[in-house]
Amino acid sequence: MARRFSVQRQRGFTTIAITCFFALYLPIVVLVFYAFNSADSLSSFQGVSLRWFARAFENQQVVDASLRSLQIAAVAATVATVAATMAALATTRTEPYRGLTLKYAFINQPLMVPEIVTAVALLIFFARIKIWTGYTGLGYLIAAHTAFCVPFAYLPIRARLENMDSTLEKAAADLYATPWKAFRYVTLPLLWPGILAGFMLAFVISLDDVVITEFVKSAGQDTLPTYMLGQIRRTITPEMNAISALFLLMSICVVIVFFVVNRKRV
């Protein structure tokens, strides 16, 4: 009897896999390692110290940029996830019809367009609105990040919906549940892992965006990525490593919370 094909049994698979993991994670390990460097140099480790973490917390520009990044990412990810959930329901919980594929392409189009094109288009569009209204607040950054994050939230939510059995929803309808009650008590609890995954993906995409933010932001609206970009152009210190290490820790905590929540729901 012929053995089933398995990529893990192919010659060199383990070597290639280990090489890929090293290429992905070794730079991150080095970054975290030098975040605890007591020296001013990025190439010479002279001892363990928390001085750069303390300096990052004492730097008001870093604190302001970090809080601004978290605020924009949280609002943009929330709005994008709500919009993506409604779009996913509208494009999956329906009979196939003419033009449905076009809607899929329209929703996912921002993934295919180069980010610089989107950034320039938003710059021109928002520049006209700024002239007409005189408003120069964070609303432009939030709107830009929301529009850019919708397809990232849409993909895991739609994937979850497509893999969900609609029998329970039909049973709820047979038991005289209104569409809202069927969604609230049946669809939403089953869809929640996909919604959470979509929110996390949108949040991370918004949090580390540089190109769109650099084009859309007004004076004094630096996010942490644009602030770090500006500092790197001047001088690089282990303070940048410390800031990156803190955000890496935050992302790890978010992933852990996601798995814990999903595990409890299962």
Which tokens is 216 given?
């859309």
DSSP 8-state symbol, 236: -
CB–CB of 110/150 below 8 Å? yes
Number of structural domains in the chain: 1
**Entry pTM:** 0.83
| CATH for 132 | 1.10.3720.10
User: What is the predicted pLDDT for the residue at 74?
Assistant: 92
Question: Could you list the mean pLDDT of each consecutive 10-residue stretch along the chain, which spans 266 residues?
Answer: 64 84 88 83 78 86 88 93 91 78 81 87 90 87 92 90 80 79 82 88 88 88 86 76 85 77 60
User: What is the predicted pLDDT for the residue at 253?
Assistant: 81
Q: Is position 182 within any domain?
A: yes
Q: Is position 131 within any domain?
A: yes
State the Cα angle at 188 between 179 and 99, rounded to 5°. Answer: 65
Q: Is position 97 within any domain?
A: yes
Give the domain range for residue 187.
61-265
CB–CB of 38/47 below 8 Å? yes
State the Cα angle at 110 between 128 and 195, rounded to 5°. Answer: 115
